[in-house]
A and B are shown apart, each in its own frame.
Chain A
Amino acid sequence: MKKMMILFLAAALLFPFSAGAKTLRLAMDADPVSLDPHVQLSGGMLQYSHLVFDPLVRWTKDTKIEPRLAEKWERMDDLTMRFYLRKGVKFHSGNELTAKDVAWTLARLKRSGDFKGLFEPFADPVIIDDYTIDIKTKKPYGLLLNMCTYIFPMDSKFYTGTDKKGHPKDTIVKTEWSFANENESGTGKYVVAEREQGQKWVLKAFPDYWDKNTGNVDEIILTPISEDATRVAALLAGDVDFIMPVPPQDFDRIEKADGIKLITMTGSRIITFQINQKRREEFKNAKVRQAMVYAVNNAGIVKKIMKGRAGVAAQNSPRGYQGHNPALQPRFDLAKARQLMKEAGYEKGFTVSMIAPNNRYVNDEKIAVATAAMLSKIGIKVDLKTMPKAQYWDQFDAQVADIQMIGWHSDTEDSANFYEFLYMCPNKETGYGQYNSGNYCNKRVDELTLASQSETNVEKRMAMLQEVEKILYDDAAFIPFHWQMLSWAGSDKLKNANDIINVMNFPYFGDLIMK
């Protein structure tokens, strides 16, 4: 590592000005916790992985899969997908990427506490030759390719052996010192040149990077700034070129500032209220639930409370997900809602309790207050209590209230994740329906969701997931609100900042072009 760094620094000293060195000063709310990508499954670590490593495949901005280290792939049978690796890809240590590294990385992922859940369906891969590998699953698994976006091949030779303390170099350690926590060798565009945890990171472009057709940033200086207002101020003052995330209350200020661009994008975190059918007899009646959905003007909430900075939702899956059903539209209609209440026999209404966090989601408390007001118009009087997130999740799990707020982002970027956790019949043993505080239970939803897991035909899978979405919509299993927005802001020096961001919130800084 050290030798390589010296070599690299020498190279950097020789060439920097000839190529017109570009430095990107980046401020994030927190820096990655480690140099080992398998230590933690979090947005921050995956953002880091995209800088220093490369995945087999990755998401594009329009949620398609594009080749990275895998040039192409083909499905061999229900359990197997064959990947053809790019040739001549070098790790930062100088070793060449082979199929062995991919198999080694997959094995390590299955050992990582945070990732093993996601990689549970995977069986041992079969290496065909140096550049061909068959990735196998235990059962047919429809999300195989999605999961490959999490496989960032690591340098198996570099991480093999024992470190100075006598531990194997590939040990995954969360907090203490370990070889992998302090050293890296990936195939990514950037090499970690300097790192002071919590203070400053310097990343330099890797001269032997395989992808010549990328951006022109030679150096990235990453500074974590946890305070929202300070981060925005640093951007406004020109101390940094790019910040993420941007606090919503400063959107207008940044938009009005000269030389700075605000980039927002409808994310995939859905905000919903769950209606508990176990606590309330009334909620067992689908008409009451529908009436509640009809009574909630979520477009109004997006316009007035979210100031238009969210996508109005009528279902869980945002556009681009396989389960997104374009036929499902928001349905605010107060007259219809009152009519439904009358049909259900609850014309006089009733009183329910509701809880919501007040610092978890953007404007969560205001959304809850507005919802309480809206429901009171169809005679449902709401006793609302809001609390900080530190207390909220215990109360949520204990199901203390009849209506509870939850926001959900799918780890797999797939619709089935919503259904598995939020709408399948709660089952302590399998873990399905773990966050289904509405106790909504529909056999057909369970059946289709489970079937979708092993369906490898995309067309068929889409039909299944969209049917689930339709059932949830018709049954009014939940009250949908909106998809929260993701936000970034950068100076005008960044020419294609709009193209490198995506709904997963993994900006591809390698592709960034600066003036």
Chain B
Amino acid sequence: MTRIKQFFNSFFFYRFIRDPVAIGSFIVLAVLFISGFGAPVIAPHNPYDTTTIDIMDSELPPFWYPDSDSRFLLGTDSQGRDMLSTMLYGMRVSIFIGLGAVTLQAFLGITIGLIAGYKGGRFEAFLMRVADVQLSFSTYMVAIFFGALFQAAFGMGLYENFAIPMLIFIIGFAEWPQYARTVRASVLGEKKKEYVEAARVIGLPSRRIMWNHILPNTLTPVLVISTVQVANAIMSEAALSFIGLGMPVTRPSLGSLIKAGFDFIFSGSWWITLFPGIMLVILILSINLLGDWLRDFLNPKLYKG
């Protein structure tokens, strides 16, 4: 109880409550998260359960058209899946993969970047060259490699069940150098500063200096790239799904839904790609706005009075 009270009295909350953009994007994001993760309860249909889909319901328009079907509020896609439900389920997958991949990237990148920056010398050179090698492999190559490995080891059937953890691992593993480089650069800037020297003088172990003293001061750029990387991860997932290495086509994510709908945009069935597109834009925009606000809050130089 005191914790919560403490939070409401904090400066963080004080600043948050006075910024309408932050509140707005937080509310939107909260609604999207709740509806995404609550999809099995909220969504009128279960599009991942293929037994309920009928091809004869395909490409029905949204409710305001005369030939729409009352069962499908926002129309159906080319397979006869309810758009609204598929979007909610797809968003859940996208958020899951986006956050999961970024968490993994951040964990790997921050650890490696911090150690490399702080230790310096040969160790640093080695770690950063590893990062360069990793960067030279595109995400798709990593995905093809692990996808093939996984399939050879466990067969195709199992792949479908493990698609989400696999994608989190692939996207997270392929892009950690982004974090490592950013963190290392900031660490290099911080480690010569007086407070680090002071901490060293009083004899604190380097682990503690790294994690408790330097890391908090390098988090600003990390938070900024995190918001970009969530969006990137969601898009990587869409691209991987297209080349057959992402989510199974019977369980579309938001990204693959947009891609699938793109074929129909000129033939009149615009809703298949537009609705999930709008949803993705809102999702990413609110994450970015919130990230922006967080950066401003964390950066004392940007205090606006």
**Do A and B come together as binding partners?**
yes
Chain A residues with a Cβ under 8 A of chain B: 249, 252-253, 297, 300-301, 303-305, 351-353, 355, 358, 365-366, 368-370, 372-374, 376-377, 381-388, 391, 400-401
- The chain A residue sitting closest to B59, CB to CB, is A304
Query: Looking at the complex, which one of B58, B79, B159, B263 makes contact with A383 (CB distance below 8 Å)?
Result: B159
- Given known contacts A366-B79, A385-B248, A297 and B243 CB-to-CB distance under 8 angstroms: no
A397 to chain B, nearest CB (A): 15
Judged by a CB distance under 8 angstroms, whether B156 is at the interface is: yes
Judged by a CB distance under 8 angstroms, whether B267 is at the interface is: yes
CB pair A301–B55 under 8 Å, yes or no, is yes
**Assembled-state Cα–Cα distance A173/B248 (Å):** 45
Query: Looking at the complex, which one of B56, B157, B249 makes contact with A351 (CB distance below 8 Å)?
Result: B157
Which residues of chain A are within 8 angstroms of B58 by Cβ–Cβ distance? 304-305
Which residues of chain B are within 8 angstroms of A374 by Cβ–Cβ distance? 55
Which residues of chain A are within 8 angstroms of B50 by Cβ–Cβ distance? 372-373, 376-377, 381-382
B196 to chain A, nearest CB (A): 51
The 8 closest A-B pairs by CB, nearest first: A387-B244, A376-B50, A373-B50, A383-B160, A353-B156, A373-B53, A304-B58, A376-B51
- The chain B residue sitting closest to A372, CB to CB, is B250
Judged by a CB distance under 8 angstroms, whether B103 is at the interface is: no
**Assembled-state Cα–Cα distance A381/B244 (Å):** 19
Query: Looking at the complex, which one of A352, A366, A384, A391 makes contact with B248 (CB distance below 8 Å)?
Result: A384
Judged by a CB distance under 8 angstroms, whether B65 is at the interface is: no
CB pair A386–B244 under 8 Å, yes or no, is yes
Other than the known A373-B54, A385-B160, what 20 A-B pairs have Cβ atoms closer than 8 Å?
A253-B266, A300-B55, A303-B56, A304-B55, A351-B157, A358-B242, A372-B250, A377-B51, A382-B250, A383-B157, A385-B156, A385-B159, A385-B244, A385-B248, A385-B249, A386-B244, A387-B243, A387-B244, A400-B151, A400-B156
**Assembled-state Cα–Cα distance A249/B268 (Å):** 11
CB pair A305–B248 under 8 Å, yes or no, is no
Which residues of chain A are within 8 angstroms of B263 by Cβ–Cβ distance? 249
Query: Looking at the complex, which one of A355, A370, A376 makes contact with B55 (CB distance below 8 Å)?
Result: A370
Pull 30 A–B residue pairs with CB atoms less than 8 Å apart, ordered by A.
A249-B267, A253-B266, A297-B55, A300-B56, A304-B56, A352-B157, A353-B155, A353-B156, A355-B156, A358-B242, A358-B244, A369-B79, A369-B249, A370-B79, A372-B250, A373-B80, A374-B55, A376-B51, A377-B50, A383-B159, A383-B160, A384-B248, A384-B249, A384-B250, A385-B156, A385-B159, A386-B244, A387-B244, A391-B244, A401-B156
Interface 1/0 per residue, B41-65 and A, CB below 8 Å: 0000000011101111011000000
Interface residues of B in 81-122 (CB under 8 A from A): none
B144 to chain A, nearest CB (A): 9
**Assembled-state Cα–Cα distance A252/B268 (Å):** 10
Which residues of chain B are within 8 angstroms of A301 by Cβ–Cβ distance? 55
Interface residues of B in 245-270 (CB under 8 A from A): 248-250, 260, 263, 266-267
Which residues of chain A are within 8 angstroms of B250 by Cβ–Cβ distance? 369, 372-373, 382, 384
CB pair A365–B156 under 8 Å, yes or no, is no
Inter-chain contact count A-B, CB under 8 Å? 82
Instruction: Give the interface SS of chain B, mostly helix, strand, loop or mixed.
Output: loop
**Assembled-state Cα–Cα distance A74/B286 (Å):** 80
Which residues of chain A are within 8 angstroms of B59 by Cβ–Cβ distance? 304
- The chain B residue sitting closest to A365, CB to CB, is B249
A481 to chain B, nearest CB (A): 12
Which residues of chain B are within 8 angstroms of A401 by Cβ–Cβ distance? 156
Judged by a CB distance under 8 angstroms, whether B35 is at the interface is: no
B67 to chain A, nearest CB (A): 14
Which residues of chain B are within 8 angstroms of A352 by Cβ–Cβ distance? 157
**Assembled-state Cα–Cα distance A381/B49 (Å):** 10
Which residues of chain B are within 8 angstroms of A372 by Cβ–Cβ distance? 50, 250
Interface residues of B in 6-56 (CB under 8 A from A): 49-51, 53-56
Interface centre among B53, B54, B244 (most CB of A within 10 A): B244
**Assembled-state Cα–Cα distance A372/B243 (Å):** 19
Judged by a CB distance under 8 angstroms, whether B68 is at the interface is: no
Judged by a CB distance under 8 angstroms, whether B78 is at the interface is: yes
**Assembled-state Cα–Cα distance A219/B160 (Å):** 57
Which residues of chain A are within 8 angstroms of B151 by Cβ–Cβ distance? 400
CB pair A368–B160 under 8 Å, yes or no, is no
A75 to chain B, nearest CB (A): 49
Which residues of chain B are within 8 angstroms of A373 by Cβ–Cβ distance? 50-51, 53-55, 79-80, 250
Which residues of chain A are within 8 angstroms of B51 by Cβ–Cβ distance? 373, 376-377
CB pair B244–A305 under 8 Å, yes or no, is no
A30 to chain B, nearest CB (A): 23
CB pair A249–B266 under 8 Å, yes or no, is yes
- The chain A residue sitting closest to B56, CB to CB, is A300
**Assembled-state Cα–Cα distance A252/B56 (Å):** 20
Interface centre among B79, B249, B267 (most CB of A within 10 A): B249
B180 to chain A, nearest CB (A): 32
- The chain A residue sitting closest to B161, CB to CB, is A383
**Assembled-state Cα–Cα distance A369/B248 (Å):** 10
Which residues of chain B are within 8 angstroms of A377 by Cβ–Cβ distance? 50-51
**Assembled-state Cα–Cα distance A297/B53 (Å):** 12
**Assembled-state Cα–Cα distance A210/B50 (Å):** 62
CB pair B55–A386 under 8 Å, yes or no, is no
- The chain B residue sitting closest to A304, CB to CB, is B58
Interface residues of B in 144-170 (CB under 8 A from A): 151, 155-157, 159-160
**Assembled-state Cα–Cα distance A376/B49 (Å):** 9
- The chain B residue sitting closest to A305, CB to CB, is B78
- The chain A residue sitting closest to B242, CB to CB, is A358
CB pair A252–B267 under 8 Å, yes or no, is yes
- The chain A residue sitting closest to B266, CB to CB, is A249
- The chain A residue sitting closest to B268, CB to CB, is A252
A443 to chain B, nearest CB (A): 32
B279 to chain A, nearest CB (A): 21
CB pair B157–A368 under 8 Å, yes or no, is no
Which residues of chain A are within 8 angstroms of B244 by Cβ–Cβ distance? 358, 385-388, 391
Interface centre among A358, A368, A370, A382 (most CB of B within 10 A): A370
- The chain B residue sitting closest to A379, CB to CB, is B51
**Assembled-state Cα–Cα distance A194/B266 (Å):** 38
**Assembled-state Cα–Cα distance A381/B260 (Å):** 22
Which residues of chain A are within 8 angstroms of B155 by Cβ–Cβ distance? 353
Which residues of chain B are within 8 angstroms of A391 by Cβ–Cβ distance? 244
**Assembled-state Cα–Cα distance A341/B56 (Å):** 23
